[in-house]
């Protein structure tokens, strides 16, 4: 069939919205009509080359839609089901899935390889060139073909925008606080970078009972907005936050510091370490340039203060557990998702949406489809 998609052919070129050819779903794949796609910063890492992806690529890895056709042997879904995508696949059979750590599913090893999870290509340009769907999803398209391992069934009455957000950013940020930083009641938590991921970490820290949630962001809009999502204090920079956290904790410093800026750099680790108490935890969630190897850290203090530095993929949680869980919290009024969608865009406005993200105009921008 023919569909329309946002395609990237060269690093830093604009996304090209064009008609592409989409093959029928193959065994263990589904065809999904896209209803909404979230604009996560990780697509920008693909766009600017700090994360190498196979080009050409259909962008987008946050999304939700309706199943409209099934490949052979699909028993998990029926036509008409609604799904949230998960760039983290979950096979259910590898040792990590069996241990309840689906964010580490072995299928993830293929995420940055060309083509589909099952091999081969379903996406082609008008001239017959094969196109890879980003992270095996490619949500910036009117239709998607994806593996059953990358889709989570959700309730049909959940609006598509919120469903798209829990597909990556919200689950990642919320879990960075609740699962990886292990926030408990009374904690002091610093969240550095309050876009879609960081604002969800603020919500997670608040939900876990943190006493002080310090939102750090150079953007005034993000700092002001953070107070509506559970932040108790704000700071422009980690340096400014250090004095504030010192005052709030009588010099003890934060139980955890969560790093969710647009791009992580090695120099951010030392100020995060200074913000964090002895025995405390620094969580690195944001994506760094893949070539980045050096980290600033006071190694002496790191050992002597018994501190932890933890990486965090997809909120250190299992998509099949957490996506339905967060959506049920949204339905119960316990998680703010509508409020996180600052602006919506058409597929043709994808470049405008990313320019707005980089200009800090959005907590999250969402592409909506008819
Ligand atoms: N680990 C994972 O599984 C995972 C999943 C999704 C996204 N990510 C990554 O998380 C990061 C955040 O994504 P997002 O979609 O929320 O991005 P975003 O662009 O929506 O928000 C980033 C925010 O960081 C702020 N910021 C930039 N530099 C800062 C600094 N030095 N100090 C404080 N704040 C700063 C910006 O003002 C902005 O508000 C990205 O690197 C993204 O690729 C990681
Ligand atoms: Zn993402
Ligand atoms: Zn697995």
240 C-alpha vs ligand 2 centroid, how far in Å? Answer: 28
Q: What SS3 state is found at 175? A: helix
Which residues does ligand 1 sit against, CB inside 6 Å? 40-42, 45, 168-169, 172, 192-198, 216-219, 222, 260-263, 285-287, 312-314, 357, 360
CB atoms near residue 92 (< 10 Å): 12
Q: Which domains occur in the chain, in start order?
A: 2-166+337-368 (3.90.180.10), 173-312 (3.40.50.720)
Rounded Cα–Cα distance for residues 56 and 4 (Å): 15
Rounded Cα–Cα distance for residues 43 and 51 (Å): 9
Stretches where the chain sits below pLDDT 70 are none
Q: List the residue whose alpha carbon is closest to atom 31 of ligand 1.
A: 261
359 C-alpha vs ligand 3 centroid, how far in Å? Answer: 37
Q: Burial level of 182, CB count in 10 A (0-12/13-18/19+)?
A: middle
Rounded Cα–Cα distance for residues 164 and 301 (Å): 41
Q: What angle is formed at CA 356 by the lines to CA 123 and CA 137, rounded to 5 degrees?
A: 20
Q: Which residues contact 65 (CB under 8 A, 6 or more apart)?
A: 32, 33, 34, 35, 36, 82, 83, 85, 144, 160
Length in residues, the chain: 370
Beta strands 29-38 and 143-147: pairing type? antiparallel
Which-ligand-closest: CA of 320?
Answer: 3
Per-residue exposure over 345-357, b if at least 16 CB sit within 10 Å of its own CB, e if not: bebebbeebbebb
For ligand 3, a single-atom ion, the residues with CB < 5 A are 91, 94, 97, 105
Integer Rg of the chain from CA? 20
Rounded Cα–Cα distance for residues 348 and 182 (Å): 40
Sign of the C-alpha dihedral, residues 78, 6, 89, 27? positive
For position 370, what pLDDT does the model report? 79
Q: At what angle do helices 41-48 and 350-358 cross, to 10 degrees?
A: 100
Beta strands 130-133 and 2-8: pairing type? unpaired
CB of 258 within 8 A of CB of 250? Answer: no
Q: List the residue whose alpha carbon is closest to atom 20 of ligand 1.
A: 195
206 C-alpha vs ligand 2 centroid, how far in Å? Answer: 22
100: alpha, beta or left, given left = phi > 0 and alpha = psi -120 to 50? left
Rounded Cα–Cα distance for residues 139 and 5 (Å): 8
119 C-alpha vs ligand 1 centroid, how far in Å? Answer: 31
């Amino acid at each position: 069939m023919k569909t329309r998609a946002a395609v990237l052919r060269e690093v830093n070129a604009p996304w090209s919205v064009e008609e592409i050819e989409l093959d029928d779903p193959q065994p263990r794949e589904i065809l999904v009509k896209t209803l909404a796609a979230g604009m996560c910063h990780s697509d920008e890492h693909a766009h600017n080359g700090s994360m190498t992806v196979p080009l050409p690529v259909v962008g987008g890895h946050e999304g939700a839609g309706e199943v409209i056709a099934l490949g052979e042997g699909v028993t998990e879904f029926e036509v008409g089901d609604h799904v949230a995508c998960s760039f983290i696949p979950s096979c259910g059979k590898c040792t990590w899935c069996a241990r309840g750590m689906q964010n580490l599913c072995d299928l993830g090893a293929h995420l940055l390889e060309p083509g589909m999870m099952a091999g081969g290509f379903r996406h082609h340009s008008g001239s017959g060139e094969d196109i890879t769907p980003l992270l095996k999803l490619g949500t910036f398209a009117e239709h998607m073909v994806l593996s059953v391992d990358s889709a989570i069934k959700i309730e049909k009455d959940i609006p598509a925008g919120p469903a798209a957000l829990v597909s990556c950013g919200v689950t990642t940020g919320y879990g960075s606080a609740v699962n990886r930083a292990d926030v408990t009641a009374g904690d002091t938590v610093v969240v550095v970078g309050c876009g879609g991921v960081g604002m969800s970490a603020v919500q997670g820290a608040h939900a876990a009972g943190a006493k002080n949630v310090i939102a750090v962001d150079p953007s005034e809009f993000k700092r002001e907005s953070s107070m509506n999502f559970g932040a108790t204090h704000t700071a422009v920079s980690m340096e400014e936050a250090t004095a504030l956290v010192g005052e709030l904790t009588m010099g003890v410093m934060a139980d955890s510091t969560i790093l969710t800026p647009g791009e992580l750099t090695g120099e951010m680790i030392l100020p995060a370490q200074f913000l964090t108490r002895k025995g405390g935890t620094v969580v690195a969630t944001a994506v760094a340039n893949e070539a980045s190897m050096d980290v600033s850290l006071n190694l002496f203090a790191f050992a002597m203060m018994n501190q932890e530095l933890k990486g965090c993929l997809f909120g250190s949680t299992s998509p099949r557990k957490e996506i339905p869980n967060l959506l049920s919290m949204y339905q119960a009024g316990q998680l703010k998702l509508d409020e996180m969608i600052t602006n919506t865009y058409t597929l043709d406005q994808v470049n405008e949406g990313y320019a707005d993200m980089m200009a800090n105009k959005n907590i999250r921008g969402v592409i909506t489809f008819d």
